[in-house]
Amino acid sequence: MSPASVRRRFPAGTGVDQLREYMAPFALRLGYRFNDDEDFVNEVLASEIEILEETGDVYCPCRVRTGDPKEDVKIVCPCIPFYADQFAKLRKCWCGLFIRTDVTDGSELHGVIEVPEGPAEVPVALAEEFPPGTLRTIRVGKREITLARVDGEFFALGNVCRHAFGPLGQGFMDGYMAVCPWHGWRYDVRDGTTDHPDADVRTYETFVREGYVFVTV
């Protein structure tokens, strides 16, 4: 890659400690923290620094960059949103740099395991950072989902408005109704229904545990 095409997110000379400090709050909001194995964390981050020096960004050292920016963006560390459903079941990210905040013994997760079958309970946001009466789009693996809060309750539903495919999660709330920002179609966040025939969106189960909002996919 020519130097001119490098888009630097971190300045040259960025070190392991700076990366750690930078990434930790983003991982925490997705329900993850650094692995307890300090040596392992340092080894992974040292590999990421090598990649950073070459490319200007930190990519997962266990996956290959293809040169296609649309693909490669999915392995920028932390890559958790793009694989949130798989990682939620593994209880760690692919390379194990990050483990779920609710894991007590990270050492048992060493090595890479097959992703178990079945639904995934995915931490998607800190409840205290999600004000009542608001909504936003979240990414859970390949899905985009609208997450909405009404008083103390959270709701999750399909993110694409069935009218003109507007991004529902970028709209606004009116009581229990999520209003599409483009043309104002309204969806009841409790069951995904709208006034328009055959245009309901699907909903997902949500719950709050240890301060995190979870979506089951």
Partner 1 sequence: MQVRLFALSTCPYCRMTKRFLDDASVQYEMLEVDKLEDEAKNSAIAEVKEISGGASFPVVVIGEEVIVGFNKKRIKELLQL
| The only residue of 6, 15, 17, 50 in contact with partner 1, by rule CB under 8 A | 50
The C-alpha angle 150, 152, 158, rounded to 5 degrees, equals 45
**How near is the Cβ of 70 to partner 1 at its closest, in Å?**
14
If one asks whether residue 63 binds partner 1 (CB under 8 A), the answer comes out as yes
- Quote the least distance from Cβ 92 to partner 1, whole Å: 11
Site size for partner 1 (CB under 8 A) = 20
Residue 44 engages partner 1 in binding (rule: CB under 8 A): yes
Which one among 1, 6, 73, 113 touches partner 1, defined by CB under 8 A?
113
β pairing state of 121-126 and 32-34? unpaired
- Minimum CB distance to partner 1, residue 144 (Å): 21
Distant-in-sequence, close-in-space partners of 112: CB < 8 Å, separation ≥ 6:
94, 95, 96
Among 61, 106, 158, 166, binds partner 1 (CB under 8 A): 61
CA of residue 5 relative to chain centroid, distance: 27
Closest approach of partner 1 to the CB of residue 40, in Å: 7
Report residue 131 as tokens.
Answer: 């004000």
Tokens 């990366």 sit at which residue? 19
* Tokens representing residue 98 in the block: 């990050």
Q: Examine residue 43 and tell whether it contacts partner 1 (CB under 8 A).
A: yes
Q: Is 89 exposed, middle or buried (0-12, 13-18, 19+ CB in 10 A)?
A: middle
Applying CB under 8 A, does 47 fall inside the site for partner 1? yes
The smaller minimum CB distance to partner 1, of residues 80 and 161, is found at 80
Query: How many angstroms from the chain centroid is the CA of residue 19?
Result: 19
Contact stretch for partner 1 (CB under 8 A) within 46-54, 130-138, 140-148, 198-206: 46-54
Give, for 26, the enclosing helix (H) or strand (E): helix 16-29
Which of 94, 155, 185, 214 touches partner 1 by CB under 8 A?
94
By CB under 8 A, is residue 40 in contact with partner 1? yes
Q: Which helix (H) or strand (E) holds 212?
A: strand 212-216
Q: What residue ranges bind partner 1 (CB under 8 A)?
A: 40, 43-44, 47-48, 50-51, 61-66, 94-96, 111-114
